[in-house]
Structure 1
Amino acid sequence: MADIKAAARSTGPSPRTAGRSLMKDLVRDRYLYLLLLPGLLLVLLFKYGPMYGVVIAFQDYNIYKGIHGSQWVGFAQFERLFRSPDFYEILGNTVIISLYKLSASFVIPIVLALLLNELRSVVFRRFAQSVVYLPHFISWVIFSGIIITFLNPVDGMVNTVIQSLGGKPIDFLGDVRYFRSMLVVTDIYKEVGWGTIIYLAAIAGVNPDLYEAARIDGASKLRQMWHVTLPAIRPVIVILVILSLANVLEAGFQQIFLLYNALVYDVADIIDTYVYRVGIYQANYSFATAAGLFKSAVAMTLILTVNTIVKKSGQQGLW
């Protein structure tokens, strides 16, 4: 046993050797590390720095006393959150809207990428990609203004067309029957291009010999998609699904906050809007932080669980 340990110590790099190797890498790739530095500082400053404020969720925070002077109350804010009559309705709205968006954003970009990949005209394919991808660069502030203008029940273009066909105007943004569907449709229109570009990049890496072999075997275009393209891009699909499930409680704060109103609170109020309203308007910072921390804990649990399941099923996870 002693010989084995001695052999392991002799074969493994010593701390001094590892340190010299690290310094050599830093000197050799110094310009690459300099390029990495701004992004790293950005993450540390805006992602990890604010995590110190999570302690507010366990306090009766007083803005004048600060974090160090506020009273420690333990899990009292979480108990208040779970006993709130509005919490479970808001949690249900968040999950329902997120699942609607997740279902649509999972299928539609894959189908669209497969269809674009089969276009023979390179010019038209690039034009179609640009048209689909363009809304992704428009902020929700501008995009929501466009949506409100188009869906206005009085003089909006959509209702103008409905009335010209003999129908009655519909208040898409003020009717609980249509609001969630409108959220999903507008989210797909704005973000479907991002997922499509990712899947197109994955499809571009598929070995052309596989398609050639499938054509020799008599496979149609549909069969080639099903038996060649989809299995080849399965790792990318799995990773995007894991990341999407981690955001199952991220129903889209900007979109909903800019489009919803008091008429649709029952179906549109989500955790993020609730936290904003309680934390900012009512200055109840501890309660809002507890709600936000609960959402983050659920997201972390989901991503760990899904990643473990994926790895045990034989697929490649995030780590």
Structure 2
Amino acid sequence: MSSQQTGTECYKSIGRRFTLEKKLKLILYHKYLYLMLIPVLIWYIIFCYVPMYGIVISFQDYSMSKGVFGSTFVGLTHFKELWQDEDFWRAFWNTAIIAVYRIVIEFPISIVVALLLNEIRHIKVRKTIQTIVYLPHFLSWVIVASIFMTLLSPESGIINAICTGMGINTPDIISNPNMFRGVLIWSDVWKEAGFSSIIYVAAMASIDAELYEATDIDGASRWQQIWYVTLPGIRNIIVIMFILMLGQVLTWGFDQVYNFYNPMVYDKGDIIDTYIFRTALSDNKFSFAAAASMFKSLICMTLLVVSNSVVKKLGEESIY
């Protein structure tokens, strides 16, 4: 071995040691933050990673009496059956269509809510409005579904009573398949738009105030300031949130749909998660349901990886 190679390896070793020491110092310096992170990691390990061994049953003819290790291995049989199941594809396309509606409608609305909150200059008024728009997020879907059903009920609903008093006939919105998706989207907007705007409001707070002062001097209007200062200032956050949204497009809404839907709206409202729930618990087809869940997860992972790669190539900040 030449002296040059020996010297190169020595420098690499010193560099690795220096990097390791630097990392250890940073960890010790931020030790309390890492300690706060431990419960979160434990939660994810117990409830997200440990249960992943259950995907094995999607390749088995699973029997509760035999367990995971005793059930017969059947390979891709359940995936072939899934591919030919019309109910699954109906649920898949329903999920995809509802997801597109959520992206097109809900994603921009949360940004608009954040922009409107940012434009309120009176601190007490802003805090009051923020509290009002954030509050629905903390209500369970059981309560939210009860509120909307009470409002929209064709027999005893408040809206129906008002319209009847005005001589207007109101349709049965909850049981109408063509209106059911609209109920899902707008109830989710009411519940989550305010809370989803928090991260955008926080990002707007970090924009340099001198940029707004400079545009004021140049005579820019408030709309021009929003377009040329505020939106570019939170562009990276918008991109990251969009990537994360794409990664979970097929996993949204089980609690919501389960509390809203009924057999009359299955054709338009049944989604993959409710299909899996019904298949596993009602029909006792656990392996088949696991195969459907794995298929859904693979699609979500693909969307996340592809969208992140596209954003990287466009020169924007990505999630990894």
Q: Secondary structure at the match of 2:116?
A: helix
Q: Which structure 1 residue ranges, 5 or more long, are not aligned? A: none
Distance (whole Å) between structure 1 residues aligned to residue 293 and residue 242 of structure 2: 23
Distance (whole Å) between structure 2 residues aligned to residue 14 and residue 211 of structure 1: 44
What are the Cα deviations for residues 243-269 of structure 1, in whole angstroms up to 9, with x where unaligned?
111112124010000110000000001
Please tell me whether residue 248 in structure 1 is matched to residue 249 in structure 2: yes
Q: Which structure 2 residue ranges, 5 or more long, are not aligned? A: none
Distance (whole Å) between structure 2 residues aligned to residue 22 and residue 158 of structure 1: 61
Q: Which moved more, 1:201-210 or 1:114-123?
A: 114-123
What are the Cα deviations for residues 231-284 of structure 1, in whole angstroms up to 9, with x where unaligned?
110000000000111112124010000110000000001100000000111110
Distance (whole Å) between structure 1 residues aligned to residue 252 and residue 31 of structure 2: 41
Change in CA separation of 1:219 and 1:87 when aligned onto 2, cut-off 3 Å: same
Superposition deviation, residue 3 in structure 1: 2.2
- Give the structure 2 partner of residue 47 of structure 1: 48
TM-score normalised according to structure 1 size: 0.94
Superposition deviation, residue 33 in structure 1: 3.2
- Give the structure 2 partner of residue 58 of structure 1: 59
- Give the structure 2 partner of residue 304 of structure 1: 305
Q: Percent identity?
A: 43
Q: Which moved more, 1:104-113 or 1:44-53?
A: 104-113
- Give the structure 2 partner of residue 214 of structure 1: 215
Q: How does 1:1-319 map to 2 (within 5 A)?
A: 3=4, 6-7=7-8, 9-13=10-14, 29-319=30-320
Q: CA RMSD in A?
A: 2.0
Q: Is the 8 A contact 1:98 1:250 kept in 2?
A: no
Superposition deviation, residue 10 in structure 1: 1.7
What are the Cα deviations for residues 199-252 of structure 1, in whole angstroms up to 9, with x where unaligned?
111111111111111122221111111111111100000000001111121240
Change in CA separation of 1:5 and 1:289 when aligned onto 2, cut-off 3 Å: farther
Aligned residues, how many? 319
Superposition deviation, residue 23 in structure 1: 6.0
Superposition deviation, residue 20 in structure 1: 6.4
Q: Is the 8 A contact 1:94 1:270 kept in 2?
A: yes
What are the Cα deviations for residues 123-169 of structure 1, in whole angstroms up to 9, with x where unaligned?
21111111111001111122111122121111111211221221113
What are the Cα deviations for residues 298-318 of structure 1, in whole angstroms up to 9, with x where unaligned?
000000000000000010000
Distance (whole Å) between structure 2 residues aligned to residue 93 and residue 225 of structure 1: 36
Distance (whole Å) between structure 1 residues aligned to residue 51 and residue 7 of structure 2: 46
What are the Cα deviations for residues 91-139 of structure 1, in whole angstroms up to 9, with x where unaligned?
1100001111121121111112112211232221111111111001111
Residue type at the aligned position of 1:290 = A
Distance (whole Å) between structure 2 residues aligned to residue 218 and residue 8 of structure 1: 61
